[in-house]
Amino acid sequence: MNTRALPLYATIAIFLIAYLLCWLQFPNILSTRVIGNLLTDNAYLGIVAVGMTLVILSGGIDLSVGSVIAFSGVFIAVVLRDTSLHPLLVFAMLLAITTAFGAAMGVLIDRLAMPAFIVTLAGMFLARGAAYMLSIDSVPIQHPFYKALQSTYYLMPGKGRLTLIGMVMVLTVIVGMIVAHKTRFGASVYALGGGEQTARLMGVRQGRTTMLVYAFSGLMAGLSGIVFSIYTGSGYSLATVGTELTAIAAVVIGGTLLTGGAGYMFGTLVGVLTMGLIQTYIVFDGSLSSWWTKIVIGILLLVFILLQKGLLKLSQSRLSGAS
Amino acid sequence: MLLSVQAMTKTFPGTRALDAVDFDLRAGEVHALLGENGAGKSTLIKCLTGAYHRDGGTVTLDGAQITPRSTVEAQELGIGTVYQEVNLLPNLTVAQNLMFGREPRRWGLIDGRAVRARAREVLTSYGLEIDVDRDLGSYSVAIQQIIAIARAVSLSGKVLILDEPTASLDAAEVRMVFDVVRSLRERGLGIVFVSHFLDQVFELTDRVTVLRNGQKITTESTADLDRVRLIEHMLGRALEVEVSDQSADETYHRRPEMLSFRNFGRRTVVEPFDLDVTKGEVVGLAGLLGSGRTESAELMFGVRSAQTGEARDQTGKLDLSGPRAAIAAGFGFAPEDRKTDGIVADLSIRKNIVLGLQARRGWARPIARAEQNRLADDYIARLDIRTSGREKAIGDLSGGNQQKVVLARWLAMNPRFLILDEPTRGIDVGAHAEILRLIRELTQAGMSVLVISSEIDELVAVADRVIVVRDRRHVAELSGRRVTGDEIMRAIASDDEEGDAA
């Protein structure tokens, strides 16, 4: 069997076991209402984690996404408040901005041969600063189109609501899976994560691929910002602080190797849902402090890092045993 | 003529790496390209594969002049290259690696099934029936190397350049790769073969071209060439008989015993062994890759601690619980993988030399800069390290000179017992002989040396006594007149107990 898929199976198994344990205590947790809420509440995180997965697969990291989400919310809210543009047009403008922002970071990372950590850290401050410049207050979004978006849902059997933003998240994951696993661009991303020099020798256009990876992450961050603004109905420059780290955690819990080159897009969805499930459990329990979410996520992260190290050891010892 | 290079010239600041070199390659031949490090082999190859741009001369492939600007372009023109370190991605599957960049697509998306089918098809023609859906990294280096060859051939298909493809393979794996190369020769490819292993050159190649100092010395049919003449071409001087009668010296066991290891071993690593080392002796350790040679050395140096037995010298028991303890006991160890375990590539020669000495003194007592300079200059002169100065980064030196710096580091600490694991691996013939001579000099000054090598000739030349390791056991000890290539081979190859004269 391929050891590469083991972290993914482990992720899925942990999610299912966790769900089973929750279900034994609270049978209601299996209702479509809970599932619908799980998707809705984590929609923005899931979307941004899709972009983050691709970045991490390429061997990089994108710390700017949390700030970009906040910027997006403020940008939409301020533009809608001050102009009479239709929200769809504003969305298009925003996505163009965030994609270009990501692409610019990608170009810098490639051209200056700078660590992605530093460049995107600068991007994080820049985007957050830009959000403050637009407004330091929470700006409500009153546009009627927003009301329509917020109340669009598909009623699942059992009265669960699959909201628009939940659907967007699921669609994004599917698009992410296609991009990562079914295109030559995706193959180039894995190749870069496996080794830059080798990838170049195999014909990967490193500059173009790096730029596209961060552009994709910027696009996802912008989309996530739109979804977040629909979810909260406002734009606030202090929102989603630290979301980039939560997204990285979701990606790693989803079984993707933090050093790049190995992982699955689907695993990231499971990672996001696992983190959402912990939160849901705490809500159901009612007596637990929400800090338990962080503690459990911390433990899960540690378990996954150990698991990946262990698998690496295992495959190495198997190799030396075979030869 | 499939490929013809005429008057190729390439200059780097300060050196002329290639000086009007001619080289030609027929379809259906394996053509060895030989020379010491710095002779211009790799420059020639890099000019052919587009990694460098030549300054002058012409390259004609299939009757058309070409000037590749990148490795990818050279590939498209028909020149594929396989390097010593497998240049494929261990994190992708075999099929993905083989088809990378030209995956069959359906509706614009990669058709995974077709990728696997095509990959399987390609590998079957190489006699390789493996699961193409597993990660490349889960296969042995030999299989990875064959997959790399398969990829290079399917991408280019006219000329295949093999740059030291066998450096990290054991004998059986080398045979496997050679079978593939021979079948490609029958298919009509022109193959350029670069290797340090002269045995392999004689076994595999049809013609030999020797470069020296950027100039072509000769191109001859391999069958017309003998080993001595080939080495003379490479070195540009007649080989001194420096590798002959040293092992005839049988007086060593009258010399005082310096170190003795008794029942020394560690479970699953090396079975307990006894070993005595006398003052000024060179002990060779022979065996196949993975037989426990390196592990024995690591045990003695405390890289892994021994579970059983003890080591003692005349004064009593030695503490070898770790490298620090071993160094304190007067041991030194130059490991096999020089690049990762031996040198600090970004630091200067001077810093690399004083590293060990400084570590022993502790950080609180820094070695004065003048003293460091004196040490560095002294060893650069003594070991004939070829460099433009002591402040040059060691990573920029050739393999042989790096090895000399590693030696210098240990010599500066004046050990009594020095372990050298494959001291001549990846080093050109000239430096090779120099290092062997150096080992001799050291022992004459009273130091004892343990040399691990997979080149039997080398052990015969340098060692007073050879221990043969097989299957993690010390199975034979040869000394005096019995230190011959045949005897060592026999001891390595025999798999019953009767050859085990100790």
- Residue B235 pLDDT exceeds 80: no
Residue A142 has, within 13 A of its CA and on its CB side, a CA count of 5
Among A126, A185, A267, A166, residue whose Cα is nearest residue B105: A185
pLDDT computed for residue B242 by the predictor: 43
Q: Which residue of A has its CA nearest to B87?
A: A198
| B183 Cα to chain A: minimum distance (Å) | 24
Out of B90, B93, B100, closest to residue A202 by CB: B100
Higher-pLDDT residue of A90 and B19 is A90
pLDDT band per the 50, 70, 90 thresholds, residue A316: low
The string of pLDDT tens digits covering residues B431-481 is 777 888 888 888 888 889 999 887 777 888 888 889 888 777 888 888 877
| A318 Cα to chain B: minimum distance (Å) | 8
CB atoms A202 and B290 under 8 Å:
no
Q: Which residues of A22-52 are buried (b: 16+ CB within 10 A; e: fewer)?
A: beeeeeebeeeebbbbbbbbbbbbbbbbbbb
Which chain B residues are within 8 Å of A198, Cβ to Cβ?
87-89
Angle between helices A32-41 and A43-57 (to 10 degrees): 60
Structure tokens at B285: 């350790």
Mean pLDDT score of chain A, rounded to an integer? 89
Q: What is the dihedral of CA A7, A12, A15, A20, to 10 degrees?
A: -130
Top residue of A196, A202, A318 to mutate, by most chain B CBs within 10 Å, is A202
pLDDT computed for residue B498 by the predictor: 41
Out of A182, A183, A203, closest to residue B101 by CB: A203
CB atoms B91 and A262 under 8 Å:
yes
Q: Which residue of A has its CA nearest to B86?
A: A198
What domains, with CATH codes, occur in chain B?
Answer: 3-91+135-235 (3.40.50.300), 242-330+415-502 (3.40.50.300), 342-413 (no CATH)
Phi, psi at residue A141, to the nearest 5°?
Answer: -110, 120
Any idea which fold A3-314 has?
ABC transporter involved in vitamin B12 uptake, BtuC (1.10.3470)
pLDDT computed for residue B241 by the predictor: 44
- Residue B245 pLDDT exceeds 60: no
Alpha-carbon distance B287 to B467, whole Å? 9
- CB proximity list for B48: less than 8 A, separation 6 or greater: B3, B5, B59, B68, B74, B79, B159, B161
* A128-137, B34-43, B225-234, B437-446: range with highest mean pLDDT: A128-137
pLDDT computed for residue B35 by the predictor: 80
Q: Which residues of B348-383 are buried (b: 16+ CB within 10 A; e: fewer)?
A: bbbbbbbbbbbeeeeeeeeeeeeebeebbeebbeeb
- CB proximity list for A145: less than 8 A, separation 6 or greater: A86, A87, A88
B75 touches chain A (CB under 8 A): yes
**Position of tokens 């730029």?**
A211
Of chain B, the percentage scoring pLDDT greater than 70 comes to 91
Structure tokens at B159: 């000329």
Is residue A164 within 8 A of residue A39, CB to CB? The reply is: no
Higher-pLDDT residue of A10 and A309 is A10
Top residue of B69, B71, B81, B92 to mutate, by most chain A CBs within 10 Å, is B92
Q: What is the mean pLDDT of residues B366-388?
A: 86
ipTM of the complex: 0.81
CB atoms B88 and A262 under 8 Å:
no
Which chain B residues are within 8 Å of A182, Cβ to Cβ?
109-110, 112
Alpha-carbon distance B331 to B159, whole Å? 49
Is residue B452 within 8 A of residue B466, CB to CB? The reply is: no
pLDDT computed for residue B38 by the predictor: 65
- Residue A56 pLDDT exceeds 90: yes
CB atoms B92 and A199 under 8 Å:
no
Among B450, B424, B418, B452, residue whose Cα is nearest residue B436: B424
**Position of tokens 């007649």?**
B238
pLDDT computed for residue B436 by the predictor: 83
pLDDT computed for residue B254 by the predictor: 56
Q: Which residue of A has its CA nearest to B148?
A: A202
**DSSP character for B484?**
S
pLDDT computed for residue A317 by the predictor: 66
CB atoms A2 and B134 under 8 Å:
yes
Alpha-carbon distance A43 to A76, whole Å? 18
Q: Which residue of B has its CA nearest to A315?
A: B138
**Position of tokens 């490639």?**
A110
- Residue B1 pLDDT exceeds 90: no
CB atoms B89 and A198 under 8 Å:
yes
Which chain B residues are within 8 Å of A195, Cβ to Cβ?
89
pLDDT computed for residue A319 by the predictor: 54
Beta bridge mates, B259: B277, B313
CA distances from B60 to B20, B45, B63, B80, B208 (A): 15, 14, 6, 15, 20
Phi, psi at residue B81, to the nearest 5°?
Answer: -130, 140
Taking the whole predicted model, whether its pTM rises above 0.80 is answered as no
Q: Which residue of B has its CA nearest to A261?
A: B91
pLDDT computed for residue B251 by the predictor: 47
Mean pLDDT score of chain B, rounded to an integer? 82
pLDDT band per the 50, 70, 90 thresholds, residue A66: very high
| B89 Cα to chain A: minimum distance (Å) | 6
The alpha-helical segments, DSSP class H, found in B63-140 are 71-77, 94-99, 112-124
CA distances from B96 to A197, B76, B137, B147, B211 (A): 17, 19, 12, 11, 38
Higher-pLDDT residue of B380 and B199 is B380
pLDDT computed for residue A164 by the predictor: 92
Out of B75, B87, B140, closest to residue A322 by CB: B140
pLDDT computed for residue B494 by the predictor: 63
B71 touches chain A (CB under 8 A): yes
B87 touches chain A (CB under 8 A): yes
Strands (E) in A134-272, as ranges, are 139-140, 153-155, 161-163, 234-235
What residue type is assigned to position B207 of the chain? R
* A89-93, B187-191, B489-493: range with highest mean pLDDT: A89-93
CB atoms A194 and B92 under 8 Å:
yes
B52 touches chain A (CB under 8 A): no
Higher-pLDDT residue of A320 and B71 is B71
Top residue of A201, A209, A259, A320 to mutate, by most chain B CBs within 10 Å, is A201
pLDDT band per the 50, 70, 90 thresholds, residue A70: very high
Q: Which residue of A has its CA nearest to B51?
A: A201
Alpha-carbon distance A208 to A172, whole Å? 22
Which chain B residues are within 8 Å of A178, Cβ to Cβ?
109
- CB proximity list for A78: less than 8 A, separation 6 or greater: A134, A135, A139, A235
Alpha-carbon distance B152 to B160, whole Å? 7
Is residue B144 within 8 A of residue B66, CB to CB? The reply is: no
B171 touches chain A (CB under 8 A): no
B499 touches chain A (CB under 8 A): no
pLDDT band per the 50, 70, 90 thresholds, residue B243: very low
